[in-house]
């Protein structure tokens, strides 16, 4: 059927594009109220992360790592009976396990909030952290412990790249922190505990020193804190943050 002469209505492709825009917008903002940390907490987290990474880098540069090697041996060279229990557990923190856990968390927050904002926050935190970690790795150029320490036990396939800082620890910490505002308290606590165990596993598996884990955690905390700040600003300007309890009682 021909269109009426002089008609100004949108064409079918235009209507389809408009509907898609509305659909994406409806999935942007969370449908449940979220509690973003106070700005000073996010600043403190980012600052502590920067200090932790900076201190780790200075210790490595100064060669003050004898304690690092001793702690590595304590965590890595465990008795066979203990290893028979810890090794199967550590498989939960291999790269495939980390990806599965983070994907499950992301799917949960998408279903819970019907929003892609958590995905954006987590992806941004992961991408920025990955870039910073690999820049630091190129500068530090620290060999892996199993490459230079006699008696170090390698419990996974040889890792790629250099040792400092731990990228697995950094990315896991950053993503977990970025997703904390979207999680119930119990699940947020479990996610933080998982991130801590990822750091432990990198030493137990023989691919990182404890100092590498601390440096990675520092980068993850700094990026995670910065992500929380950006998220708080975004939600505040959009009027999406819940009112403080005192103001709700007065209204």
Determine, yes or no, domain membership for 1. no
What whole-number distance in Å separates Cα of residue 167 and Cα of residue 94?
12
- pLDDT of 18 reads 42
- pLDDT of 58 reads 97
Determine, yes or no, domain membership for 190. yes
User: How much of the chain is in helix, strand and coil states, percent to nearest 5?
Assistant: 70, 0, 30
What whole-number distance in Å separates Cα of residue 183 and Cα of residue 181?
6
Determine, yes or no, domain membership for 18. no
Do you find a cis peptide bond into 45, omega within 30 degrees of 0?
A: no
What whole-number distance in Å separates Cα of residue 172 and Cα of residue 103?
11
Determine, yes or no, domain membership for 251. no
Residues 5-24 pLDDT 10s: 555 555 555 444 444 444 55
Do the Cβ atoms of 43 and 225 come closer than 8 Å? yes
- pLDDT of 160 reads 87
Domain ranges, residue 89 = 37-230
What whole-number distance in Å separates Cα of residue 61 and Cα of residue 208?
17
How many domains does the chain divide into?
A: 1
Nearest to 182 by CA among 128, 239, 122: 122
- pLDDT of 175 reads 95
Determine, yes or no, domain membership for 3. no
What whole-number distance in Å separates Cα of residue 174 and Cα of residue 125?
6
Determine, yes or no, domain membership for 102. yes
Residues 40-82 pLDDT 10s: 999 999 999 999 999 999 999 999 999 999 999 999 999 999 9
User: Max alpha carbon distance in the chain (Å)?
Assistant: 86
Determine, yes or no, domain membership for 31. no
Determine, yes or no, domain membership for 220. yes
Q: Which residue ranges of the chain lie beneath pLDDT 70?
A: 1-30, 32-33, 238-251
What whole-number distance in Å separates Cα of residue 120 and Cα of residue 127?
10
First to last CA, the chain: 57
Q: What are the distances in angstroms from CA 2 to CA 6, 10, 12, 16, 164?
A: 12, 14, 14, 20, 68
Do the Cβ atoms of 241 and 235 come closer than 8 Å? yes
- pLDDT of 247 reads 44
């Amino acid at each position: 059927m021909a269109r009426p002469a002089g008609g100004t209505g949108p064409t079918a492709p235009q209507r389809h594009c408009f509907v898609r825009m509305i659909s994406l917008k409806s999935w942007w903002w969370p449908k449940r109220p979220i509690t973003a940390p106070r700005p000073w907490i996010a600043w403190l987290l980012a600052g502590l992360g920067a200090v932790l990474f900076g201190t780790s880098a200075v210790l490595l540069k100064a060669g003050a790592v004898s304690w690092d090697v001793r702690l590595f041996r304590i965590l890595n060279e465990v008795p066979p009976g203990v290893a028979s229990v810890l090794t199967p557990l550590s498989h939960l923190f291999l790269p495939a396990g980390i990806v599965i856990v983070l994907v499950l968390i992301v799917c949960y927050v998408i279903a819970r909030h019907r929003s892609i904002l958590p995905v954006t926050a987590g992806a941004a935190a992961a991408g920025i952290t990955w870039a910073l970690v690999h820049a630091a790795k190129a500068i530090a150029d620290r060999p892996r412990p199993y490459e230079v320490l006699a008696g170090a036990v390698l419990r996974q396939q040889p890792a790629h790249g250099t040792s400092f800082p731990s990228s697995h620890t950094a990315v896991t910490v950053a993503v977990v922190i970025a997703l904390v505002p979207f999680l119930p308290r119990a699940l947020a606590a479990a996610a933080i505990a998982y991130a801590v165990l990822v750091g432990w596993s990198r030493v137990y598996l023989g691919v990182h020193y404890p100092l590498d884990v601390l440096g990675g955690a520092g980068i993850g905390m700094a990026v995670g804190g910065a992500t929380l700040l950006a998220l708080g600003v975004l939600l505040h300007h959009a009027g999406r943050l819940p009112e403080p309890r005192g103001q709700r009682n007065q209204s």
